[in-house]
Amino acid sequence: MAQPPKFDGSASFNAADGDTETFEDLKIMFERVQARARDIRTLSFHVDLVFLSTLQDYILSLHGAADNLINIEIHVSSSGGQSHHLPHIRLPVELFPSLRSLTLDGVYIHESSAGVIRQLHALKLWNCPARSGAVHPNNFMPILRNAVSLHTLHFNRFLFAVAFSDDDIVQRPLQLPRLTNLICEDAIHSIRQFFQEVDIGPHVHATIIAQLPRAYEPDPTAMYGPVCMVLPRTSDDVMGFDDIERMYSEPQLDPNEEPVEYGPVGWIFPSDRDSPTLLKAIKYVTLSRNSNGEMELVGTSDGPGELKCIVSARSSDSPLLKYHLMSSALCTISAHLAIQRETHLQTLHITAELDFIRPTTWRLLFHATPHLTDLRLHDTGRFIPLSVGALIVFNELSSPIAAPRLQRVTLHGSMVSVRLIEAIHATLASRRHVTPTGQPVGILESLGLDLLAIDAASANVEAIPEYSALVKWVKGSGTKLTMQVALVSDV
């Protein structure tokens, strides 16, 4: 039985599946809406697909009763199973002159409703019921092209149904000049394709929740990031990025299967010169795995823009896949920065098991970040004395041309060792480089170390000669060193 409308500025209709009284209930509701037209600002419908045509007829019969309507929500379900076609709803602008917010769940807007789209401030497209590729870009891009007043855009399991073509050459990405808030919860490949078609601007708060293909599994040989198999191995050639796009390729088990052109997070920072303006404005990046095991990236700028990307993890995901996501994210950040030289990344915060990030990945990242000033590392690795993740980081920072503007480094959670202390000392000394003009390059202003030890003897760093040598050298170097060591058992 339908719920009676609430006259608090809204009217809602919720039809149960198979309710034989739905048609009469819907008619009664619209009669009440017309009687209280001046009071209603929101209309909300939850109907089965079989009642959609009836709902459409009643909407078209409003005739002046919807002049003050601001928000419409239409949620369509299908008790008969998944639909193989995409149902549409028509909303003529002459009937809804004040409409500013539209939510379509399980239904799409008809192309004749372009006038309504132009005046919308918020558009939410959720749960396309049709098969993947059911919406042609020619029926989708004009909708966005007309959304000239849009402030909020929200996709939830909709973009996967848009038949984007990788062969289409985008001469100029579509721009949404007033957009301030973007939410995408969709298939990972579809999201990247959307970003190739649309430039969301530099001031958007974007939340991206990407879903991996069900059958996705990384190549075990690419555990530390596919870029490691692409780049030349010699340090002299490390800046040759001609083949960088190949890092998005994944091997296919079935030779007849459509190739996967992008790695799991390659879409986050598209490595081409037409990537969204927001990506070029980002100066601060935090990369980590959240409590659900999902890869999470947050990028912010000096302005209001923010990009939050989450690659959803499944409970069945292997540790191999989770390591691969993290390393692939670092590789794609590097690829983007290497090509987008106008992107001035200043702060990078990485929370990861550092043992699973290869030296080549760090080398690529540091060479691609000439404006980096702050590096913050949180090592979440296993508590084993042989951990070498942090050691590799400092070895790769030993050249002053690696992140030459780097001023501050913090390291938390790694295991203390004589080798690590020696590597830190060597790195600090090697970065005291002076150019022929007398300009110092690469000198660190501060180094903060919050390390762990397996036992009390290892925690007593004051008794280690290498630590004493480091402290003595730092006193005359101008670098501020803070270091504390805690027992693993106390953590």
Close Cβ partners of 472 (under 8 Å, ≥ 6 residues apart): none
The region of weakest confidence among 150-159, 253-262, 403-412 is 253-262
Residue 70, helix vs strand vs coil? coil
Q: Which range among 168-182, 228-242, 454-468, 469-483 shows the weakest confidence by mean pLDDT?
A: 228-242
pLDDT mean over 6-23: 59
Average confidence score pLDDT of the chain? 79
- pLDDT of 275 over the 80 cut: no
CA distance 162 to 168: 14
Domains located in the chain, CATH noted: 1-154 (3.80.10)
State the pLDDT at residue 421: 95
**Tokens read off for 23:** 């048609």
Q: How far, in Å, CA of 366 to CA of 247, rounded?
A: 18
Q: What pLDDT was estimated at residue 251?
A: 34
Look at residues 177, 101, 124 and name the one whose alpha carbon lies nearest to residue 146. Answer: 177
Query: Mean pLDDT throughout 99-104?
Result: 96
pLDDT tens track for 276-312 = 788 888 899 998 887 777 888 899 998 888 989 888 7
Per the listing, tokens 């070895």 go with: 395
Cα atoms found within 13 Å of the Cα of residue 404, Cβ hemisphere only:
9
Q: Percent of the chain beyond pLDDT 70?
A: 74
- In angstroms, rounded to a whole number, what is the distance separating the alpha carbons of residues 380 and 353? 5
Q: What is the pLDDT of residues 177-195, one digit of tens each?
A: 899 999 999 888 788 888 8
**Which residues are 211's β-sheet partners?**
187, 312
Instruction: Output 19 or 279, whichever has higher pLDDT.
Output: 279
With a CB cutoff of 8 Å and minimum separation 6, the contacts of 441 are 400, 401, 404, 431, 433, 434, 435
Dump pLDDT digits (tens) for 210-251. 887 666 655 444 433 333 333 333 333 333 333 333 333 333
Query: How much is the pTM?
Result: 0.81
| Beta carbons of 354 and 393 less than 8 angstroms apart | yes
Rg (CA), the chain: 28
Each residue of 380-417: b (16+ CB within 10 Å) or e?
A: ebeeeeebbbbbbbbbbbbbbebbbebbebbbbbbbbb
pLDDT higher at 249 or 358: 358
Alpha helices, DSSP H, located in 97-136: 114-119
Strands (DSSP E) contained in 243-372 are 284-289, 295-300, 306-312, 347-352
At 383-421, the pLDDT tens digits run 666 678 899 999 999 876 788 889 999 999 999 999 999
